[in-house]
Amino acid sequence: MENLFTEIETNEELALQLGLSSDEYYMILKLLGRKPTYTELGIFSVMWSEHCSYKNSIKMLKTLPRSGPQLLVSAGEENAGAVDIGNGYAICFKIESHNHPSAVEPFQGAATGVGGILRDIFSMGARPIAVLNSLRFGNLRDEKTKFLFKGVVSGISHYGNCFGVPTVGGEVYFEECYTDNPLVNVMAVGIVRTDRIAFARAKGFGNPVCIVGSSTGRDGIHGASLLASKEFCEEMMDMRPTVQVGDPFAEKLLLEATLELIRAGIVVGIQDMGAAGISCSTSEMSSRGRVGMSINLDLVPLREPNMTPYEIMLSESQERMLFVFDKNRLNEAIDICKKWDVPITKIGEVTDCGFLHIWKNNRKVCEIRADNLVLGGDAPQYDPLAKEPQYIHEKQNFDMSTLNIDDIDLKEAFLKLISSPNIVSKRWVYEQYDFQVRTNTIKNIGDAAVLRLKEIPNKGIALSTDCNSRYVYLNPYRGAVIAVAESARNVACVGARPLAITNCLNFGNPNNPEVYWTFKQAVIGIGDACRYFETPVTGGNVSFHNESSAYAIYPTPIIGMLGVIDDVSKICSLEFKEVDDLIYLVGANRVELGGSEFLKQVFGLVAGDAPFVDLEEEKKLHKFLYESIQQGILNSAHDCSEGGLAICLAEKSIYSDGIGFKINLDSKPSAGILFGESQGRVVVTISKEKKGIFETICKDLKVPFKLLGKTQKECIEIDGAFTFEIKEVMDIYFTRIEKELS
């Protein structure tokens, strides 16, 4: 081995400054048999960071169901998951976080979150057709929250609209625990022919390694290791240079060039340069292909002068891809990139030694075996201590009788819930998104977004993102099961069959035993629910360290669900359709107020246990919804979730054309019946003449059902509880967010 050039003498103290532990530094010494160069230490620091190596989570993630006949690539092994939907096509989809960058610089943090997840999709050879987002912020009345909220939404809309992909759905919640750590989780979806899926692995000794896309600058250096992999603190506000800067127009050109390169059959391997930049893409592609790479950093196009090898290797500049091309067809690649005005530069070639050899100024600055750096190789894997938090028993055993809930004014309680920022319309958000670009969107408001697939006549997909983090906070296992169950229920409500999930697991510091216990329980819950529903996990993201000195977020495992629709002419929406339709509650009704929006808005409490969930009941409900929608029995269907039955009914009126309801319950209305959040329930409407066939299918499938009442004009009424004109409720529902932000 020849002598390596280093700019700075490395030692344990420097390793600690770069986010490595003492033990990890000595692991590096053992693997290399020498001290690392400064560039090598930087590469280890980003590749062994929490964000890139999943060192505190991978052992639990491996327990998830990550295989199934519908999966075309192994979960976590490629840029995104790929699910076979038949007819020779696959859907690629994935969800990732950009939480810490968005806390530091909300516009660019959110914008580059969209850009990064889109590149994961089209690097698979798939054309992006949809984006969804799941957002969490602090109290909406807080000025800091308003600043972050406006910046994040603006960043998402800017990138998606300019790139030309519709943002078709998602969710927005407000809770004090997200004050310092907003959650910005973005899910992207694309479609690809199964014979054109591209893979993130290098092969073929002597094949050229090329950067395609934008030049490399100093933005994003240590975004993975020092920003995304540690707790948020005031000093992080000085880390704005670690947040990448996005250019959606450059990414649009990169998309078209990438898809044409893949169609031409000249691409051997491809990977997005996201977290850890060139360090990540070179090492991971080499390790997957069981090869090495020789890279000359003098050839990397730079947009800033005098960049060091360390800076070039760690830069997270956006809109860049690393390609390995067939060495006999490089000129074809150059011609295609020239056609799209996308820069392409050969920076090295594939070798047969398994090492990364990195050169700068004719000096070797790095010589590391690729397997030393990556997940599945020598990157550390830990088993953090786990301890059940004391608060869980205290919260679950809270005595509800001390609240005198029976004395609550139901009309006043309804008004508090219908005006809650967690329930009201997010029109202010989605009106900033172009949800109709590419004209695939059939429905974007309701339980799930529905898109037609122009490539397959009549076929469509349904998409949903879900998680009630209060439930997970109170009961991590059950709350995670509910997140999967609700996402499946939502796609079923529009007439889709749940097919597979992606997840984004947002938690606090994994070195806190109580935090790690909630993480483990949540992962077990997700796994159990996915196995039961036969919806494997295609991949996703883990985001730890979402806490500050003042706040720790609720454990928030976001579930992104994909459902398939065989005939898009047979879908269902949430709103009432006709006056005098019959209104039914389908599913078991239990009186459960634990973790409810009612407790939060009326009493300011997050207490009790998460609602009971029965996976067998849920699965029967999915089958009922699919079959009854296919047969054209249902006129509408809407999931009962936050706010319970009363809010579910109100939303069905709000989104209809002035159609209300009149409900007569068997017993005196109570807060538990109206606002309880029992799982496994939907409210549906049918025409009177279909009453017989509807009740027969419910009985045949052994699904509980109850006739609640019927629809009527202009008025919403629950006998013994309250009466409102629809317009009065709509005014509250559609204007709350705007009023708070004005």
> What positions carry a catalytic annotation?
51, 98
Which structure tokens are listed for 164? Answer: 């030309």
Contact indicator for 567, 496 with CB cutoff of 8 Å:
no
Contact indicator for 319, 213 with CB cutoff of 8 Å:
yes
Q: What are phi and psi of 657, to 5 degrees?
A: -95, 70
Contact indicator for 625, 697 with CB cutoff of 8 Å:
no
User: What residue spans of 164-266 are helical by DSSP H?
Assistant: 248-263
Q: Which residues contact 141 (CB under 8 A, 6 or more apart)?
A: 740
Contact indicator for 293, 356 with CB cutoff of 8 Å:
yes
Which structure tokens are listed for 300? Answer: 């990397």
Helix (H, G, I), strand (E, B) or coil at 344: strand
**Distance (Å, rounded) from C-alpha 421 to C-alpha 737?**
7
Q: What are phi and psi of 446, to 5 degrees?
A: 145, -155
Query: At 385, which amino acid appears?
Result: L
Q: CA angle 627-629-630, nearest 5°? A: 65
Give the DSSP letter of residue 460: E
Give the DSSP letter of residue 196: G
Q: What are phi and psi of 374, to 5 degrees?
A: -110, 160
Contact indicator for 471, 595 with CB cutoff of 8 Å:
yes
Of 267, 407, 240, nearest in space to 332 by CA = 267
User: What residue spans of 265-329 are helical by DSSP H?
Assistant: 277-289, 309-314
The length of the chain, given as a count of residues: 742
Query: At 264, which amino acid appears?
Result: A
Per the listing, tokens 């790139």 go with 163
Give the DSSP letter of residue 517: H
**Distance (Å, rounded) from C-alpha 734 to C-alpha 657?**
15
Across-strand partners of 357? 294, 367
Of 570, 592, 601, 714, nearest in space to 641 by CA = 592
Q: Do the bridges between strand 497-506 and strand 556-565 make them parallel or antiparallel, or are there none, so unpaired? A: antiparallel
Query: At 306, which amino acid appears?
Result: N
For 387-454, give the DSSP string. Answer: ---HHHHHHHT--GGGG-GGGS-HHHHHHHHHT-TTTS--HHHHTTS--SGGG-EEE-SSSSEEEE-T
Q: Quick one: three-class SS letters along 288-314?
A: HHCCEEEEEHHHCCECCCCCCHHHHHH
**Distance (Å, rounded) from C-alpha 22 to C-alpha 28?**
10
**Distance (Å, rounded) from C-alpha 189 to C-alpha 450?**
12
